[in-house]
Copies of this chain bind each other. A is one copy, B any other.
Amino acid sequence: MSIVVQKFGGTSVGDVERIRRVARIIADTYDQGHSIAVVISAMGHTTDELVNLANDLVQNPAGREFDALLVTGEMVSASLMALTLNSMGYKAVSLNGQQAGFHTEDLHNRARILEIDTGRVQYHLNNKEIVIITGFQGINSKGDYTTLGRGGSDTSAVALAGALGAERCDIFTDVKGVYSADPRVVPEAVKLDDITYIEMLELSRVGAQVLHPRAVETARHANVQIRVRSTFYTDDLGTLVMEQHSLEPNMRAVSGIASDENQARIAITGVPDQPGVAAKIFGTLANRNISVDMIIQSLNKQEINDVAFTVSSNDLNDALEALEKVKSEIQADAILHDTSVAKVSIVGIGMIDRPGIAADMFSALSEGQINIKMIATSEIKISCLIEKAQAKQAVQTIHNVFFPEACGATLVTDQKLGY
Kindly list chain B residues whose C-beta atoms are within 8 Å of the C-beta of A370. none
A76-92 to B contact mask, C-beta < 8 Å, 1/0? 10111011101100001
- A80 touches which of B16, B57, B82 (Cβ 8 Å): B57
A371-398 to B contact mask, C-beta < 8 Å, 1/0? 0000000000000000000000000000
Binds B, one of A48-56, A152-160, A261-269: A48-56
> Nearest Cβ in chain B — how far from A225, in angstroms?
31
- Contact status of A58 and B86, CB under 8 A, knowing A80-B53, A93-B64: yes
Binds B, one of A66-74, A246-254, A303-311: A66-74
Q: Are A94 and B75 in contact (CB under 8 A)?
A: no
Q: Does A61 contact B (CB under 8 A)?
A: yes
Q: Are A56 and B16 in contact (CB under 8 A)?
A: yes
- A54 touches which of B75, B83, B98, B144 (Cβ 8 Å): B83
Kindly list chain B residues whose C-beta atoms are within 8 Å of the C-beta of A293. none
Which chain B residue shows the least CB distance to A144?
Answer: B99
Interface of A is mostly: helix
Kindly list chain B residues whose C-beta atoms are within 8 Å of the C-beta of A96. 68
Kindly list chain B residues whose C-beta atoms are within 8 Å of the C-beta of A92. 65
Q: Are B99 and A83 in contact (CB under 8 A)?
A: no
Kindly list chain B residues whose C-beta atoms are within 8 Å of the C-beta of A144. 99
Q: Does A404 contact B (CB under 8 A)?
A: no
A22-64 to B contact mask, C-beta < 8 Å, 1/0? 0000000000000000000000000000100110111101011
- A68 touches which of B16, B63, B94, B143 (Cβ 8 Å): B94
Q: Are A83 and B56 in contact (CB under 8 A)?
A: no
> Nearest Cβ in chain B — how far from A134, in angstroms?
10
Which chain B residue shows the least CB distance to A83?
Answer: B65
> Nearest Cβ in chain B — how far from A96, in angstroms?
8
CA distance in complex: A16, B99 (Å):
31
Which chain B residue shows the least CB distance to A58?
Answer: B87
Q: Does A241 contact B (CB under 8 A)?
A: no
> Nearest Cβ in chain B — how far from A229, in angstroms?
24
CA distance in complex: A92, B93 (Å):
33
Q: Are A69 and B50 in contact (CB under 8 A)?
A: no
Q: Does A111 contact B (CB under 8 A)?
A: no
> Nearest Cβ in chain B — how far from A58, in angstroms?
4
B-contacting residues, A312-349, CB 8 Å: none
Kindly list chain B residues whose C-beta atoms are within 8 Å of the C-beta of A59. 87
**Could you show 9 A-B contacts with beta carbons less than 8 Å apart?**
A19-B57, A20-B57, A54-B83, A57-B80, A57-B87, A58-B83, A59-B87, A61-B83, A65-B86
